[in-house]
Amino acid sequence: MPKGVLLALGGVIAICILGGLDGALTQSAFVLPVVLGIGLTQWIALLPLALWIRKRGEAKTVQGILITGGIVFLLNATCWGLFAGFRLR
């Protein structure tokens, strides 16, 4: 399971870095959904990774990937919920 956690966190960090670099270099609007919506965009990378590792027979690693992905998703959703709850008056 620690291997899965490290793989998932590495994937999340890579997505943030690549999204930030893309936004800094191209000034595109692509960076907002990638970096700010990391809870959803991470699953684009994590699900194929989990399926590939499951084929290799490493069930505990897949468990770590999915648990870490779920935690990142919930933390991101909580942060967005808190910020959306604040109203500027």
pTM above 0.75, yes or no: no
- Note the pLDDT of residue 51: 92
The Cα–Cα gap between 39 and 66 comes to 12
- Note the pLDDT of residue 3: 81
- Note the pLDDT of residue 34: 60
- Note the pLDDT of residue 32: 60
For the chain, 89 residues long, the average pLDDT of each consecutive 10-residue run is: 81 75 61 66 84 92 90 82 65
- Note the pLDDT of residue 22: 59
The Cα–Cα gap between 12 and 10 comes to 5
CB 69 within 8 A of CB 42: yes
